[in-house]
Amino acid sequence: MITIVRDEEKTPFKSSSNPNLLNVSPKVSMRRLSRSNTLPRMPRLEVEGGATLDDLSTLSMEPSKVTRLRRWIISLVVVDFDIDYGPKVTGIYPPLQFSAQEESNIAFSSFPDSPQAESGSYIHSFRIRCPASVAQAAMDEITPGAEVDGFIYGFAHFTQRRDPKSKRGYQQRSLVILSQHAYPSLFYSMSSYLGEEFLSHGGPMLEVACHNVANWPDPHPSTTLELGFLGYVFTTDLPEASGAQLANALNKVQAKPDPYMHIIATLAPQQPPIIDALQSCLAHLWSIWECLILCEPILVFGTSAAMASQVVWWLRGLLHPIPLAGDFRPFFTIHDSDHSTLVNCRAPQAGLLLGVTNPFFNRACSHWPHVLSVGPSKKKATQGSANISGGPPLGWTTKTHKRHVSKDLVLLRKLQDALHRDERAQLEASEALREHLTSRTTAFLVPLQRYLNTLIPTHADPAPTPFPPARLKPFNENAFFASLKANGSPLPFKRSAKRKDFYEKWMRTRAFGLWLAGQEEVVNRVLSEPPSSALLPRTARLEPSRPQSARPVSPSGSVSSG
Amino acid sequence: MADASGSSADKSVQVKLVLLGEAAVGKSSVVLRFVSNEFQANKEPTIGAAFLTQKCRLEDRVLRYEIWDTAGQERFHSLAPMYYRNAQAAVVVYDVTKASSLEKAKTWVKELQRQANPNIVIALAGNKVDLVQPASAPSPTPVAESEDEADDATATPGEATGEQPESLRQVPREEAEAYAQEAGLLFFETSAKTGEGIVEIFTEIAKKIPIEQILASSRGGAGRAGGVGGRTGTGSQQGGVNLEENAAKGKDACNC
């Protein structure tokens, strides 16, 4: 007889264990996804433009389910190419009323902005200002504690395929997941499965997907959740909102034997391997990392929306755990309502990462200090299409930046070797690169944290009572540089003058202010706790890999039963 | 029994299990009884599929069922393969008071045998057996009669009528059991309402699942369910489970 074990899980959903029976990677790019051989196709494979609209209008969802859905996803949006209008929203499920401008913004962001020669499916993503309608409809329902930044994210599964019934002989359609959460890894995985199934099964797929998501536990940061979706189970880490725990989460994953179904929600999608896109600028990655840290604006020019957006997410990920100080747009088009705000004759905003494909931006952003043009160089050369795109030459171009820190030449050689090897080697090299640059971000913070720890009041200080509460002492630049000089930095700076220069530059960025405010908040919160925790100075140490809040890290205890 | 330690999670065997069957035969209720030991008289129809997990101990091994409870409505039929692909087990449910639901169950069994993992363990469950039992039968979980008008999807014939229980039965036990034997299925008559037969289904499936091979294949990295060899014995009725005792234990241990 079996014994039912009920004490492990309060609700049936959450567990940190790994569903390693599942054998299909959710992280594969669309081209690699193969449908199950057993899956019967609909008799009518082509879902026509009008059909979806009709399908969606017959779908309904109870308000309570919609509320639960919108903890994770705002809506699913279908965008079709209309010969008279261009990209046009043809369905929204569950329904949501957008203004004409908002709808047009979503429609244009969901379609490639440059000619697509090949048939097939591609996933790209975008970040747009949160529409007012969404703010009303969805933002009330956001789980407290989740990071919300006034933007929403779209994950678009774009398909182009022959359609003899269409005037132009092609069907072009995007299925878009709209969410308030910056969880690219999770939504790319969902998008790849959902997009393919939607092409075959139409409207009911959207209904099923939304009900699956409505059954998920709440998206609390610092949890590991099991998320059932279309017959798959995604074991998903939601790192701490500040990103401080990412390092821990990553270590956990390395110990797992099956990385395929384990998703760290805030990472960029891992396929295709990022070094493929970055191959023309591998030697400059250390300069690019410095520019990211120093909040320098970067124009990222991609040969496709998929590539541009993947690279922007990847760059953004290197900044963890430093708070995001600038705007980033994985895929930005000339139709975006923020176009004139972000791209104009003035100097670009600090920290702005703009992912584009349209050659227009090459001219419009000619006064920008840094341009990263990504794409596979060899293929382009053999096809002779490098000039057709009209974009800037491949590689890294900077007008102002001079590198402070030494490269890792061993790693560089490894990356270059991997380019000539199979995909597995490229994936491993890509992961090694990400780990290296992430560890540089952590190393960069070490001298700052070392100094900050000296500012935490100790028992020797005259603050014996909680009134007024003990607080972190003020940050003094000169004292920091004295500490830096005395203790050094784990980063291999070329010279000590370069080291001082680099930290000086960073302390003039907005990121420094945000980071310091975050650290002060953590310390002051710990210090102001009731006197029972008398060992404060020990527990208030600042380290990036430590949980910074009192919320439990384990999946249990923080998810409401559903 | 309730001693799941942190380490046991690592040793547990994941078993993907799918529930199939006509609308309103009680698939979700079977799962709800198994996972939460609860019963709702008028449960809303499932849309798409619900995902639940339940951990169980069988002798010295820990299994973790990943349960996909699918929708019975015909318009979702074409989506079912998403749920049964790579599943190691299936429970096909019919309603003993509705003859047509057994026919639907048979088509599901055929589809599974043709298209699912060739070694899938299939159990056939004739649900709502409480409706065809004498009224004097004790019911461990009395449920207040709902005043709500049951909609088509959840209407249960005879629930509110005074008909003789046995006359409601449209599927004789012998007939279904013979079919199950012939098709190589485990067979049970169940009641999600009283709990009868529910734990037994999952117990017998657990016994029949080739656990060692699942472990071996998942250690191999691929975790391919299709690579798992299996046995296809005939279903045997096992009387070893004292349901009432189990239900009570379940309640004690449940910290919901």
Nearest to A7 among B2, B36, B225 (CB): B2
Contact A219, A181 (CB under 8 A): yes
- State the alpha helices, DSSP H only, in B90-219: 99-115, 165-168, 173-183, 198-208, 211-219
Shortest CA distance to A444 belongs to which of A416, A409, A476, A484?
A: A484
pLDDT at residue A297 tops 80: yes
User: CA B214, CA B222: separation in Å to the nearest integer?
Assistant: 11
Low-confidence winner among A17-21, A101-105, B129-133 (lowest mean pLDDT): A17-21
Helices (H), B85-159: 99-115
The tens digit of pLDDT for each residue in A27-66 reads 333 333 333 333 443 333 334 443 444 456 667 788 889 9
Per-window interface: B 10-49 vs A, CB < 8 A: 10, 12, 14-16, 34-36, 47-49
Residues of chain A found within 8 Å of residue B246, distances taken between Cβ atoms: 1, 4
Average pLDDT, integer, range A120-139: 82
Q: Which residues of A touch B28 (CB under 8 A)?
A: none
Confidence category of residue A133, pLDDT binned at 50, 70, 90: confident
Say yes or no for a CB contact (<8 Å) between A215 and B51.
Answer: yes
- Here the CATH number for the domain that contains residue B19 is 3.40.50.300
For residue A540, the one-letter residue type is A
Q: How far is A204 from chain B (nearest CA, A)?
A: 7
- Which chain B residue's Cα is nearest to A16? B9
Find out whether the peptide bond into A164 is cis, omega within 30 degrees of 0: no
Q: Residues A309, A297: contact at Cβ < 8 Å?
A: no
CB-facing half-sphere around the CA of A69: CA atoms within 13 A: 24
Q: How far is A3 from chain B, CA to nearest CA, in Å?
A: 5
CB contact under 8 A, B223 and A209: no
Contact B9 A8 (CB under 8 A): yes
Asked whether B35 and B28 are in contact (CB, 8 A), the reply is no
- CA nearest neighbour of A292 among A418, A408, A405: A405
Q: From CA A390, how far away is CA A367, in angstroms rounded?
A: 17
- State residue A410's pLDDT score: 96
B47 falls in which pLDDT band (50, 70, 90)? confident
Give the range of the structural domain holding residue B133, as residue numbers without chain letter: 2-253
- State the complex-level ipTM: 0.71
Nearest-by-CA chain B residue for A3: B57
Residues of B in contact with A5 (CB under 8 A): 1-2, 4, 55-57, 62, 253
User: Could you identify the residue written with the tokens 């002492």?
Assistant: A473
Is the distance from CB of A112 to CB of A203 less than 8 angstroms?
Answer: no
- Give the residue among A452, A404, A215, A368 at the shortest CA–CA distance from A293: A404
Instruction: Return the pLDDT at A22.
Output: 29
A194 near A205, Cβ under 8 Å? yes
At B162, the pLDDT band (50, 70, 90 cuts) reads: low
Q: How many domains does chain B have?
A: 1
Instruction: State how far residue B168 is from chain A, nearest Cα, in angstroms.
Output: 31
Chain A residues whose C-beta is within 8 A of a chain B C-beta are 1-13, 15-17, 19-23, 36, 38-40, 42, 197, 201, 204-205, 207-209, 211-212, 215, 226, 228-231, 233, 257-258, 561
Q: What is the mean pLDDT of residues A439-466?
A: 81
DSSP A530: -
Percent of chain B that is helix, strand, coil (3-state, to 5): 35, 20, 45
- Which residues contact residue A52 at a Cβ distance below 8 angstroms, ignoring those fewer than 6 apart? A78, A80, A90, A91, A202, A203
Residue A469 is predicted with a pLDDT of: 62
Label residue A390 left, alpha or beta by phi (over 0 means left) and psi (-120 to 50 means alpha). Answer: left
For an interface test with A, give the residue of B53, B56, B201 to mutate (most A CBs within 10 A). Answer: B53
Asked if the model's pLDDT at residue A97 lies above 80, the reply is yes
Q: In the numeric block, which tokens belong to residue A24?
A: 């299909």
The pLDDT of A263-280, averaged and rounded, is 91
Distance from CA of B209 to the nearest CA of A (A): 13
Q: Does B241 touch chain A (CB under 8 A)?
A: yes
Handedness of CA A285, A286, A289, A291 (dihedral sign): negative
Q: What was the pLDDT predicted at B46? A: 84
Give the integer Cα–Cα distance in Å for B181 and B176: 9
What predicted TM-score, i.e. pTM, was given to this entire model? 0.78
Facing A10 at nearest CB: one of B82, B225, B255: B255
Q: Which of B47, B58, B256 sits opposite A10 (nearest CB)?
A: B256
At residue B110 the predicted structure's pLDDT band, cuts being 50, 70 and 90, is very high
Pairing between β-strand A328-329 and β-strand A353-356 as defined by DSSP bridges: parallel
Chain A hits for B256, CB-CB cut-off 8 Å, are 10-11, 561
